Amino acid sequence: MAAQRPDPRRPGFAWTFVTRHRTPSLLNEEATMPAQPWFRPDRNVRHPDGDSVQAAHISSMNKASSSTFDPAAPSVAGMSLLSAGPARQVGVEVEFTGLRASAAARALQAGLGGHLVQEDPHAFSVHGSRLGDLSVQLDVRYVHPQAHNASLPLRMGRWSAALLGHVLAGFVPRELILSPLPVQRLAEVDGAVAILREAGARGRGRTRFGSLGLHFNIGLFRLDVTTILAFLRAFLLLEPWLRRETAGEVGRAMFMPGSFPRTYVRQVMAPDYRPDLVAFTDDYLRANPTRDRALDLLPVLQHFDEARVRARLPYEKIGSRPALHYRLPRAFVGEPGWSMMPAWNRWLAVERLAEDPNRLAALSSAYLRFDGSENAWLQLAQVHNGTG
């Protein structure tokens, strides 16, 4: 009786370890083109979109012959091999319009409890709420001189800053900033968003002048260059998929953060790229002297070495913190039923890849061998990370 071939329609097929040829390849052709023979390692093939793909021989990807990775399976509260220990901590920032900072803060205090404090005419904090400390502010540094004057090229007095804030309030979003929460409580942030919506907050992903952002500040238990590099590699490999999903929700790719330079991506993917923290910081700043990246590492690099980062970017808006800053231009505060959790769940695909050094090394090597369009890589990455 002939051996039964794997069913490409079965959930998790893309990560099922197959030993049929003892030499698994980057792309299992049966998953995307069932009528064709299986791919062999080191064989030039033609991708359905017309790109020529060099199928890489990746023995480390399929080392264990009996395991199956199901990308749809829920992560254990976001815990991973890289994050063993006490509860994960994740901060959240959400931008919205239609409600002044003072009114938003009062609504949150009424709904969540806590003590209301005015920091300046356009920034308010609520201390000790049921979601911990939080703040609401007009998202312009110049109107908060007590907090940002040292990093601004033009410094303003309190009166001038307050006047500027009143002028800009009709155009510039407000931002809800929550202190880090245990990851198990992230879904509760949707309740805070509902409070803002009921109080009159608006937002459908963008304004006439830009996006309305949703940002995650993702804490890591091992805060070292090895861990950060693993997360960066995993993110870069999956970024085309993440960008497509995000742009689809926003409806306008023009507001997406800038892409990492391809030369930098290739540098990071190289198997012999093992920098210390100083070299990693210098390489990152040289290639990315901006916070306009979906995975913005400036906050965590400044946390480690503020003088080095500020020497290169003296006036950039950077909030130093021991966390990865994941930026999405897709907050829909004004939409009833909108939740930030789908965006968080997509991020967990990055964590799953980062925590698996064999798969991460295999896909990194495959990326360096790949010769095709971003769309073709997106399809290949989907197959091997189960995101398709």
Within 8 A by CB and 6+ apart from 345, the residues are none
What stretch of H or E contains 343?
A: helix 341-354
* pLDDT for 379: 78
Longest pairwise C-alpha distance within the chain:
85
Highest mean pLDDT among 190-194, 241-245, 318-322: 190-194
Q: Collapsing DSSP states into helix, strand and coil, what is residue 376?
A: helix
- At 148-169, the pLDDT tens digits run 555 555 666 777 767 766 767 7
Task: Write the pLDDT tens digit of every residue in 312-370.
Answer: 999 888 889 999 999 998 899 999 999 999 999 999 999 999 999 999 999 999 999 98
- Confidence (pLDDT) at 34: 25
Give percent above pLDDT 90 in the chain. Answer: 51
Q: pLDDT at residue 147 above 90?
A: no
Q: Check residue 256 and give its pLDDT.
A: 81
How many residues appear in the chain?
388
145 vs 218 pLDDT, higher one? 218
pLDDT digits (tens, 9 = 90+) for 99-130: 999 999 999 999 999 999 999 888 899 999 99
pLDDT single digits (tens) 247-256:
764 445 567 8
- How many CB atoms neighbour CB 17 within 10 A? 14
Average pLDDT of span 195-208: 89
DSSP structural state of residue 79: -
Task: Express each pLDDT in 25-68 by its tens digit.
Answer: 333 222 222 222 222 222 333 333 333 333 332 222 223 222 33
Closest CA to 21 of 54, 58, 70: 58
DSSP per-residue letters across 237-288: HHHHHHHHHHHHHHS-GGGSPBPPPHHHHHHHH-TT----HHHHHHHHHHH-
Coil, helix or strand at residue 16: strand
Average pLDDT, integer, range 197-204: 94
**Cα distances (angstroms) measured from residue 44 to each of 27, 56, 135, 173, 365:** 11, 9, 55, 50, 16
pLDDT at position 25 is 33
Q: Rounded to 10 degrees, what is the CA torsion of 147, 151, 122, 209?
A: -150
What is the reported pLDDT for 127? 97
